[in-house]
Structure 1
Amino acid sequence: MKILYMFLTLSLLTLTTHAQNGMLKGRLTTAGEPIPFGSIILTGTNKGTTANEKGYYQLQNIAPGNYEVSFSAIGYLPQKLRVAISKQQATVLNGSLKENYSKLNEVVVTGVSRATELRKNPVPIAVMTKKEMNENVNNNIIDAIVKGVPGVNAVTTGPNISKPFIRGLGYNRVLTLYDGIRQEGQQWGDEHGIEIDQYGIGRAEVIKGPASLTYGSDAIAGVINLIPATPAGRDSVLKGDYVADYHTNNGMIGTSLGLAYKQNGWRYAFRATIKTANDYHNKIDGYVYNTGFREYNLSGMVRLDKNWGYSQIAATLYDNQQEIPDGSRDSLTRRFTKQVNEIATDDIKARPLVSNNELTSYGIAPLHQRIQHYRLYTHNQVKIGNSSLDAALGLQQSVRREYDHPTLPQQAGLYVVLNTLNYDLKYNLPAIGGIESTIGVNGMYQANRSKAATDFPIPDYNLFDAGAFLFMKKTFGKLDISGGIRYDNRHISWRDFYVGPNPANGFERQIKLPDTAGAHLQFPAFKHVYKGVSGSLGFTYNINERLLLKANIARGYRAPNITEIGSNGLDPGAHIVYLGNRGFNPEFSLQEDLGIISYLPDADLTAEFFNNQVDNYIYQAKLTDAGGKPVVIVPGNSTYEYQQSKARLYGAEFTVNLHPRAVKWLSFNNSLACVTGINQNKQLVAQSNGAAKYLPFIPPLHIRSELKVTLQRAYGAFSKIYLKAEADAYAAQNRFYALDNTETATPGYTLINVGAGTTIKLRSEKTLCELFFQVDNLFDTAYQSNLNRLKYFEYYTASPNGRLGIYNIGRNISFKAVFPF
């Protein structure tokens, strides 16, 4: 009876307390139109909610008192209002947000400890939203970022293979993150891209320069953080979207289904994607043989949000069959031919022609690569008073197989499996004297193993990486200062690796101890520890609300990767024999950044300047003999040897984005990016008569302009109608690494693109679908990007049409529809 009495008493007290509390409700709008799924938060409390699809919200059980209410939504300027909550009745408070034409106030988290406004961060950062990525229709996520972020380029091997470069630096110097977890595949290879589902990304953040201290070493160029879309909307309602995407040039068909559900703090998300394409074409080469692909993606996430913090577990699966072009042709007709014999008996001049059916087929050719990537990871945060503890753990497996034996199509030429364990632990300390600080440790363990292959470009190796950091920031009135320091330690080792004949198929195989008779030692044992200190210090000075000045200086560190120190063999997909150097030292960079941002009512103006001095810079160069002739170790394949020298990269990015208030339907966005890369090996430059003066793979001057018209009213079921035209201009690249014909000059070109889009709504105001239409390379311009690897896929020194190498994709018309539900 006592227990029953206590229970009834507590229940009555609870009911009484709830009855004495108040409620806040209202609607979130912009210019009288509802803003769906905006955020409403009581500042300084853990109470908050999300508006429904019509902008209405409701917050219950609020203790009486005076509060500050924060209204926010992506694409709008935030609003803060004061309100008094009284007992036993509902208080009405409506939010009215103004559209944010500038990105300066968007919240980002890349490279910093806590959520930070873009305008307060001294590090150069760019943000791309889901809307912008949808409007920049592309074959892969990296190409969409290249279009939207000045200073970002990509090395490509066909439409589906793009590896990001930031300010002239790429490969392992760009740290790619998926949902904050370091992406680890076989980044050393040119011939495959980022293993991420482009339709599942809700936001992309790009940090330029070596100022990201919290995610690990190697990011001398910068960081690209790809953040998957998370469930939004009301509780207990299944939400989702279906995406249909079609490209005319290579017949690419993309289809993706996403599902999301929320209830009582739990969030669930799932996505499945399929992409398939045949060979792409242009007016010089016609259809480019062996550039088709077939890609599958699956992802799932479960997350619990509570007052104490959150816990999330997620998994992804990526499976891509990517054809491998080699550029072989008939010398007179320039039609593509195909390899049908093994290298030992192959006659490049006697290869059969590729049929038209093979060029337009969605079937994957026997000579192809297969990249599989599996990822399981967890994010967790525990709030401890005014501090928090964040922990993340990730498991990844990358399986890479390249099939290059025409007489044994099931025999992989390259077959490597890379397993990676990522770990990250950081503590966000309580603010002391206005100083926010974070300490942490993170790193990874890797094990790479070769399987039943015939070619072995890299050894089996083990790698353990650990780093500790401290990051701090503080505001002094109009001045925001942030910076930190990091120490990294990397152990890498491998045992003796023997290769010998395989009597079962006539090729080579890995021979393991103790029976190594008849084998040769391809990779002698190696063990080394690389150490490095990196750090950054910067400030943002708010001269006023409209004018900002930013400055940052950062020291970056990167240990040599496996191919730079350990390679000694053929990579079949790249058609390159790589030769590494065990004696390489780590790269260290010192970069200065200066930025000026003017946030005007009718325009955004930015100017960013950088100067980057790199010690022990590592790059690829063609290997030649004493007579200056290319060294050929494997017939039909080039031989590249890694080099190391001092280097300097400097340049600037400018943007002028006009959005006049008097003409709300018009916007005119312009950007310019330039970078120069200088090889500071004075002896080599002198010996080569200046041929080695510039660094390889440096993008030329890039200017992009976009004129966009957005209609301000709906026409029946059609709303948010926009039309746009773009000019994408690249100057000639005459400053290239010309020694031994590693690179050649690249003519300039301008591509004209046009696009349109609209949202179709039902009578209930519910969105039926979003439509996007785009034409890239409207005038079918024939061009070769200087970062297009296919430019150098050529077997002859002369051509009947005067064109050598393979050209980039021609005119492409794309249609994309997104059906939310």
Structure 2
Amino acid sequence: MIQLTTRGLFLFLLLGAWLAGTPGRAQSALVRGRVVAAGHPLELVSVALAGTTLGAATNAAGEYELAATAGRHELVFSFVGFATRSVTVTLRPEKAVVVNITLQPAAASLQEVVVTGMSRATEIRRSPVPVAVLSRREINLNGSGNVIDAAVKGVPGLSAVTTGPNISKPFIRGLGYNRVLTLYNGLRQEGQQWGDEHGIEIDQYDIERIEVVKGPASLVYGSDAVAGVINMLPRLPDGPAGQLRGDALSEYQTNNNLLGTSLGLRYHQHGWQTAARGSYRLAQAYRNAVDGRVFGTAFRELNLTTMAGVEKSWGATHVYATLYDNFQEIPDGSRDSLTRRFTRQVFEGGPDDIKRRPPVPAAELATYRINPLHQHIQHYRLLSRTRLRLGSGELNVLLGAQQNVRREYNHPTAPAQAGLFVALTTTNYDLRYAAPTWHGLETTLGVNGMHQRNTNRDATDFPIPDYTLFDAGGYLFVKRTFGKLDLSGGLRYDGRTLSWPDFFVETDPTTGFARRGRAVSGGPAPQFADFRTRYHGISASAGAAYNLSEKLLLRANVARGYRAPNITEVGSNGLDPGAHIVYLGNRSFGPEFSLQEDLGLSVYLPDAEISVSGFNNHLTNYIYQARLTGPDGQPVVLVPGNATYQYQQGRARLYGAEATVNLHPKMAPGLEFNNSLAYVTGLNKEAALLETNGAAARYLPFIPPLHLRSEVRFTSPQPLGPLARAYLRAGADYNAAQNRFYAVDNTETRTAGYTLFNLGAGTTLTAGPQQREWLQLFVQLDNVLNTSYQSHLNRLKYFEYFAASPTGRSGIYNMGRNLSVKVILPF
């Protein structure tokens, strides 16, 4: 194993910078042209140089311009609803090359190149596992509180556990937390993701596209990808070389008075590229018809991103740096028992009588000020991506360093004292070599992993110890095409070392709070006794994609996934103040393994696209939470006012299906009728658990109900004067009642079904003879009827202190009617 140190990481980044500064022999050249269909210009057509990060998009007049190094290149033109075209051109520095293209409508509109979860660039049609792609435009169409919610609205089978509008944790087919690997431009997102009460530390305004792999991807990424992968890709410089490009964005949402602003700049010249973005969002507490404004859900968020890179004949290297800074309130759900008004905690311990807490004044519910009980999360990220051409092969190297600093302030009598204060520092490495094709066999070798260190700082609660983790794995992936049949598969081995020393906790005599202590002869035992273990596992996959014809595709895949237990599952022993839960880990846990079978059928017709996929997933050593009970059968309470859960391990099975039917009749250009269905059932298969708890333990927690989504959209196929791509949309989201839930100790309860109706409209304003776009407008009205509902995956549903309420409704409800207006000014 090669252990990557921070010093080694920065030496590599310096090497990348040196390579970027090495003069390339190739000179700069230019290619420009126009893309049309049926005699009319096409806007937003993707124009890319194959095998590079260089690309552009056509304007409202269908025109594009792209700078690259001189030499022979392959230009790829792709647009949803049209057949992808590739053209080989030879660029020369002395004169721009003009390439005009006419695209033809195609039933097979999903031939888009993606890289997530694959060993090398792969078309969706040729992927044996289900892959979904969400474009920047689709992200903008969906009014949402965060980037995960935007993805959930566009990808069947993807859901999220939420704690308010700015905290969403992705679930794929009923599995989440450390079972879904979230990536930023290929780099693992490592930010204490075991916690319930904070979301993804990524700027949603800077994301160009989201790629989702539904199914085990452990073969390429190792641990934590047993459910799938979500890769969020930032925007790269585009447009004419030598010109500063960018956009200014402004957003307002009526429900919680969210204000969002963002400014992005992009520039490239002679293969050099640079970009920067700053975004700021703030919001008040959200509201609904049942609860009014929900105290403790306001937030304030700052994002800064910068990138510098170069694309030369030898390859490319890019360096990214990001900063995420979030102040997020912590709801606890305490109320007055009669009026149901939210109350605030002002005392601690014995003096804190939940029934006598004072109500929150109305003025403090409708404010941008963050209340004293909140969390402060900072995430710093440094990422280097380098691609080197080695003859007919290619070496890709990704190195990253990130630090997540998380504070939770939960002491009303000492608001400046953090209850939880942890810093997680992670270095990542990923080396991937795509060997030259040999006798039709595409082979990829890879090694990746991470080194991680967690440190508790000046806090009063310690749910996890200081720990050190080292992860390493290597894999082999092969692919071979036999005419219409694509076969692929691979094998991987992973090892992980987890350790920590004795960790003592003592009482601070000055404050009365707990604090980090030290070993004392004859004193108390450590809260976390020293521990060291090693996990290892083998992952594998085998799949096939068979194009029966241009209109019919059959895919199948079998994969074995691996996940090492996370730190809370093994080592937790304390209160997580934001979650109001005392977690107890289990040191004897072994790694989880999943065996999943996927089968899918896609039909591409001139007027429709139909896709059906089913899956069956068996998990061994499945880790779940169970409320701790004593010998008398009553729940154990270690910290008053907080539940106590201990992690358990057993067997589980998940199965389900997704289906999409998208209609786009040729007789009505611009009209779309899109429909999707997602269904999953999660079953406990552990005999001891079922024997003790009976039917209450039959199902797994956090399983989303049957979900149907339908939308009618009309996009004007021709400009209406200065208005380009004007659209109207109307949709309905139906979530069935969830009667299959984990009912042991009332961990979950039944959730009623509901239907939400949504409306949207927007356009692009153009000006001048070149139809240059100068404004994009997106308007979205969600929950038109202001329906009162609780999502089954809404954690706030269970924030209730009383056994009964005068209204007959308990817990906190989801967001009510919300109008979102987003304006983007490109320049």
**1:479–1:84 CA distance, 2 compared to 1 (3 A):** same
| Superposed displacement of residue 74, structure 1 | 4.2
Residue 336 of structure 2: aligned partner: 330
Residue 395 of structure 2: aligned partner: 389
The question of 1:291 aligning with 2:297 is answered: yes
| Superposed displacement of residue 303, structure 1 | 1.0
**1:534–1:357 CA distance, 2 compared to 1 (3 A):** same
> Which amino acid in the other structure matches residue 746 of structure 1?
T
CA distance in 2, matches of 1:308, 1:755: 46
| Superposed displacement of residue 47, structure 1 | 13
Residue 638 of structure 2: aligned partner: 633
> Which amino acid in the other structure matches residue 34 of structure 2?
R
| Superposed displacement of residue 42, structure 1 | 8.7
**1:89–1:190 CA distance, 2 compared to 1 (3 A):** closer
CA distance in 1, matches of 2:794, 2:272: 45
The question of 1:820 aligning with 2:826 is answered: yes
| Superposed displacement of residue 712, structure 1 | 2.5
CA distance in 2, matches of 1:589, 1:142: 24
Residue 36 of structure 2: aligned partner: 29
**Residues 646-676 of structure 1, C-alpha deviations (whole Å, 9 max, x = no match):** 0000000000000111111210000000001
Spell out the pairing of 1:733-748 with structure 2 (5 A cutoff). 733-748=738-753
CA distance in 2, matches of 1:503, 1:237: 63
The question of 1:792 aligning with 2:794 is answered: no
Task: Specify the SS of the correspondent of 1:527.
Answer: strand
| Superposed displacement of residue 82, structure 1 | 7.9
Contact 2:386 2:396 (8 Å CA) reproduced: yes
Residue 136 of structure 1: aligned partner: 142
The question of 1:591 aligning with 2:596 is answered: yes
Residue 666 of structure 1: aligned partner: 671
| Superposed displacement of residue 644, structure 1 | 1.0
The question of 1:356 aligning with 2:362 is answered: yes
CA distance in 1, matches of 2:823, 2:671: 24
> Which amino acid in the other structure matches residue 107 of structure 1?
V
Residue 479 of structure 1: aligned partner: 485
Residue 728 of structure 1: aligned partner: 733
Residue 186 of structure 1: aligned partner: 192
Spell out the pairing of 1:459-474 with structure 2 (5 A cutoff). 459-474=465-480
**1:86–1:277 CA distance, 2 compared to 1 (3 A):** closer
Contact 1:426 1:438 (8 Å CA) reproduced: yes
The question of 1:222 aligning with 2:231 is answered: no
Contact 1:578 1:639 (8 Å CA) reproduced: yes
CA distance in 2, matches of 1:754, 1:247: 14
Number of residue pairs matched by the alignment = 797
The question of 1:678 aligning with 2:703 is answered: no
Residue 164 of structure 2: aligned partner: 158
TM-score by length of 1: 0.93
Spell out the pairing of 1:206-221 with structure 2 (5 A cutoff). 206-221=212-227
Given candidates 459, 463, 466, the residue that maps to 1:457 is 463
| Superposed displacement of residue 625, structure 1 | 2.7
| Superposed displacement of residue 740, structure 1 | 1.0
Residue 3 of structure 1: aligned partner: none
The question of 1:310 aligning with 2:310 is answered: no
Task: Specify the SS of the correspondent of 2:364.
Answer: helix
| Superposed displacement of residue 68, structure 1 | 9.5
| Superposed displacement of residue 624, structure 1 | 2.5
The question of 1:104 aligning with 2:110 is answered: yes
CA distance in 2, matches of 1:369, 1:287: 19
CA RMSD of aligned residues (A): 2.5
**Residues 343-400 of structure 1, C-alpha deviations (whole Å, 9 max, x = no match):** 3320111110100010001000000001100001101111011001111110000000
The question of 1:761 aligning with 2:770 is answered: no
**1:100–1:354 CA distance, 2 compared to 1 (3 A):** farther
Residue 434 of structure 1: aligned partner: 440
CA distance in 1, matches of 2:521, 2:39: 79
| Superposed displacement of residue 324, structure 1 | 0.3
**Residues 500-549 of structure 1, C-alpha deviations (whole Å, 9 max, x = no match):** 10123110001134x47755421111110000000101000000011000
Name structure 1 gaps, 5 residues minimum.
1-16
CA distance in 2, matches of 1:197, 1:86: 38
> Which amino acid in the other structure matches residue 360 of structure 2?
V
Name structure 2 gaps, 5 residues minimum.
1-25
Spell out the pairing of 1:110-149 with structure 2 (5 A cutoff). 110-149=116-155
**1:71–1:388 CA distance, 2 compared to 1 (3 A):** closer
**1:600–1:406 CA distance, 2 compared to 1 (3 A):** same
**1:56–1:770 CA distance, 2 compared to 1 (3 A):** closer
Mark the structure with the bigger radius of gyration.
1
**1:124–1:699 CA distance, 2 compared to 1 (3 A):** same
Residue 15 of structure 2: aligned partner: none
> Which amino acid in the other structure matches residue 675 of structure 1?
V
CA distance in 2, matches of 1:815, 1:87: 44
Spell out the pairing of 1:496-507 with structure 2 (5 A cutoff). 496-507=502-513
> Which amino acid in the other structure matches residue 753 of structure 1?
N
| Superposed displacement of residue 89, structure 1 | 9.9
Residue 605 of structure 2: aligned partner: 600
CA distance in 2, matches of 1:61, 1:570: 57
CA distance in 2, matches of 1:91, 1:285: 62
The question of 1:365 aligning with 2:371 is answered: yes
CA distance in 2, matches of 1:297, 1:87: 39
**1:56–1:580 CA distance, 2 compared to 1 (3 A):** closer
Contact 1:655 1:670 (8 Å CA) reproduced: yes
Residue 787 of structure 2: aligned partner: 781
Contact 2:107 2:604 (8 Å CA) reproduced: no
CA distance in 2, matches of 1:360, 1:646: 46
CA distance in 2, matches of 1:84, 1:42: 12
**Residues 295-337 of structure 1, C-alpha deviations (whole Å, 9 max, x = no match):** 0000000010001000111100000000000000000000000
CA distance in 1, matches of 2:803, 2:285: 25
**Residues 198-246 of structure 1, C-alpha deviations (whole Å, 9 max, x = no match):** 1000010000111352223221100000001111111110000111111
The question of 1:544 aligning with 2:537 is answered: no
**1:762–1:213 CA distance, 2 compared to 1 (3 A):** same
| Superposed displacement of residue 629, structure 1 | 2.7
Task: Specify the SS of the correspondent of 2:689.
Answer: helix
The question of 1:610 aligning with 2:618 is answered: no
The question of 1:561 aligning with 2:566 is answered: yes
CA distance in 1, matches of 2:393, 2:542: 23
Contact 1:241 1:257 (8 Å CA) reproduced: yes
**1:102–1:642 CA distance, 2 compared to 1 (3 A):** farther
Task: Specify the SS of the correspondent of 2:149.
Answer: helix
> Which amino acid in the other structure matches residue 267 of structure 2?
Y
CA distance in 1, matches of 2:58, 2:762: 25
Residue 6 of structure 1: aligned partner: none
Contact 2:78 2:112 (8 Å CA) reproduced: no
> Which amino acid in the other structure matches residue 531 of structure 1?
H
Residue 4 of structure 2: aligned partner: none
Task: Specify the SS of the correspondent of 1:661.
Answer: coil
CA distance in 1, matches of 2:190, 2:228: 16
Moved more, 96-105 or 330-339: 96-105
Residue 411 of structure 1: aligned partner: 417
